[in-house]
Amino acid sequence: MTDTPNVARPHDYDHSHADVSSGWLRASVFGAMDGLVSNIGLITGIAAAGASPHIVVLTGLSGLIAGALSMALGEYTSVRTQNEQLDSEVRTERDALARNPDGERAELAVLFTEFGMQAEVAELAASQVHTNDENALRVHLTHELGLNPDEKPSPWVAAISSFVFFSLGALVPIIPFLLGFGELWIGLLFGGAGLLIAGAIAATFTKRNWLKGALRQLLFGGIAVAATYTIGMLMGVDGA
């Protein structure tokens, strides 16, 4: 006997969605890109200014540590603040529903008519939704404010993801210097390859053209390199 899919649950048989609420993907992509671009620019500027390979490595590692910590702390604070704001909006809407249920029900009915329901159907739907306080709260938050209290990213996941991927990205352009190759162009080659790979992976996650994503990120990195190289040449120092 062949199992017949439940047509009311297309996610079971027709398509699926990626998890966009955990916070790890945005933090990871942003961290890796920022690590690559910022450290490529940093070592390019210091090398173009005449710094020795030892100084380039020291500068790159310092940029990696400082940047990774800054990114992690920033992501944690940002995501936690976002979640606290969501909690505040939930409290505001909950209070409004308790204080003025008739007004909130009428507001929801109007919103349903804007979605295309007939006025009578909208009134009935709003009344049925309001028979359960928690369901009413969820529907108001979702349709009025575009918020879902169940989809709060973890600040710890965002912070750790950002720290790890920033560190990996920032490490790529200084690998040749750590291995004893003191030429800037080798570091730039590593960095460029990292930008291409990171851009392609990010585009694949979002189901976009991987080649365009790779070239776009390489372009962004190239802009940073051109700027810092020019500044380094203009403000050259003795790297001894």
At 106-125, the pLDDT tens digits run: 888 888 898 888 989 989 98
Q: What's the average model confidence in pLDDT over 23-46?
A: 85
- In angstroms, the CA 140 to CA 143 distance is 5
Residue 51 φ then ψ, to 5°: -70, 150
Is 239 in a helix, a strand, or coil? strand
pLDDT-based confidence at residue 20 (cuts at 50, 70, 90): very low
pLDDT at 74 over 80: yes
The residues with which 239 forms a beta bridge, in sequence order, are: 51
Q: Residue 4 — very low, low, confident or very high, per pLDDT cuts 50/70/90?
A: low
Q: What pLDDT shows up at residue 239?
A: 42
CA dist list (Å): 182 to 1, 41, 224, 229, 235? 68, 16, 20, 16, 20
Mean pLDDT along residues 97-111: 89
pLDDT for the residue numbered 17: 44
Residue 217 CA to residue 206 CA, distance in Å, equals 15
Residue 240, pLDDT score: 40
Q: What is the pTM of this model?
A: 0.75
Position 63 pLDDT exceeds 90: yes
* Residue in this structure with the two tokens 């249920």, named with its chain if needed: 101
Provide, for the chain, the percentages of residues in helix, strand and coil under a 3-state DSSP scheme, each rounded to the nearest 5.
Answer: 75, 0, 20
Give the pLDDT band (50/70/90) at residue 200. confident
Q: How confident is the model at residue 168 (pLDDT cuts 50, 70, 90)?
A: very high
Q: pLDDT averaged over the chain?
A: 84
